[in-house]
């Protein structure tokens, strides 16, 4: 199987001049934001706002997570053209049920108003993930390893980051203006390289909404870790499909909302020194 892919990734930041609170000019960078319209067999499907660093993988993962393309063997080519701000996806055969899928649209909580086509819950009853046993110390190690990333955020801000982790190895780390874009890009990477989600940890800087849980479950990843919070629907769906859900994870702190029976507490959190009563610190 061979898919023709363009290689049209662009830089993530753009150099600009700003003025600080003292009235002095400062040289810096802002995150790029580009419109990319996806065409499926010459039919306009959707326009996504993205950094544009990995548009081919973003497109592939988006099609996969939307369940618009069921098999990688159906994809003939993904060709990006920034002169027209478009990506053209060609398939080997007509996609079954495309009109019906596109007729049903759910506006999600994704940055910039994301959308999911078709029935969001349609395939969830088939998913029953087997979450692995996790050690508290292992979560700390993963969080420490992730500190080496977030390069675009440190330089320009205005982005979310997502990562696929195998043990403490970061298999893929993606930043984009929307967390759903970062998820889709990693999904495209996994699909193209036949990487299975079993036993992996998915990390995101964004909140754990229903959309995030659904996408991660579709990717077969049983553990979802975030530095942000979760929504009630995200928690309900995690319980339904068996995703271990950890949020507010920073440093040595985290909250586990689902899957606490899978966690071994083998490390004592470090506590701040408390001054003795009657003494000023």
Q: Which of 10, 48, 11 is nearest to 179 (CA)?
A: 48
- CB count in 10 Å sphere of residue 110: 20
* Element of type H or E holding 222: none
Locate 78 and state its tokens.
């993904």
Q: How confident is the prediction for the chain on average, in pLDDT?
A: 89
- pLDDT tens per residue across span 182-241: 999 999 999 999 999 999 999 999 999 999 999 999 999 999 999 999 999 999 999 999
Virtual CA dihedral for 211, 212, 218, 222, nearest 10 degrees?
-140
* CA–CA dist 21, 49 (Å, integer): 30
pLDDT range class, residue 96, cuts 50, 70, 90: confident
- pLDDT tens per residue across span 122-181: 677 788 898 899 999 999 999 999 988 988 888 888 899 999 999 989 999 999 998 899
Q: Do β-strands 201-204 and 160-166 pair in parallel, antiparallel, or remain unpaired?
A: antiparallel
What pLDDT does 117 receive? 54
Per-residue three-class SS string for 158-180: CCEEEEEEECCEEEEEEEECCHH
Domains of the chain and CATH, by start: 4-17+26-122 (3.10.20.10), 126-264 (3.40.140.10)
Q: DSSP secondary structure string, 182-202?
A: HHHHHHHHHHHTT---TT-EE
At residue 54, φ and ψ (nearest 5 deg) are -140, 65
* CA–CA dist 238, 240 (Å, integer): 5
44-48, 69-73, 106-110, 229-233, range with the lowest pLDDT: 106-110
Contact 216, 208 (CB under 8 A): no
């Amino acid at each position: 199987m061979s898919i023709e892919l363009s290689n049209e990734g662009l830089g993530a930041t753009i150099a600009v001049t700003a003025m600080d609170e003292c009235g002095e000019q400062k040289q810096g960078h802002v995150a790029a934001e580009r419109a990319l319209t996806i065409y499926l067999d010459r039919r306009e499907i959707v326009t996504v706002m993205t950094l544009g660093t990995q548009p081919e993988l973003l497109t592939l993962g988006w099609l996969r997570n939307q369940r618009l393309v069921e098999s990688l063997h159906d994809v003939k080519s993904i060709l990006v053209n920034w002169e027209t701000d478009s990506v053209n996806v060609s398939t080997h055969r007509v996609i079954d049920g495309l009109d019906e899928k596109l007729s049903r649209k759910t506006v999600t909580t994704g940055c910039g108003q994301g959308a999911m086509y078709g029935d969001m819950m349609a395939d969830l009853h088939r998913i029953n993930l087997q979450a692995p046993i996790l050690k508290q110390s292992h979560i700390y190690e993963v969080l420490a390893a992730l500190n080496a990333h977030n390069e675009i955020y440190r330089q320009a801000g205005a982005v979310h980051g997502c990562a696929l982790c195998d043990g403490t190895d970061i298999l893929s780390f993606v930043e984009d203006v929307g967390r759903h874009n970062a998820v889709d890009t990693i999904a495209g990477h996994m699909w193209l390289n036949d990487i299975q989600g079993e036993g992996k940890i998915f990390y995101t800087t964004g909140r754990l909404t229903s959309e995030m849980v659904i996408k991660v479950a579709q990717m077969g990843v049983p553990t979802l870790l975030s530095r942000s919070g979760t929504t009630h629907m995200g928690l309900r769906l995690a319980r339904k499909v068996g995703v271990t859900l950890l949020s507010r994870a920073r440093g040595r702190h985290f909250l586990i909302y689902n899957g606490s029976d899978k966690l071994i507490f083998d490390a004592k959190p470090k506590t701040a020194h408390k001054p003795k009563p009657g003494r000023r610190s």
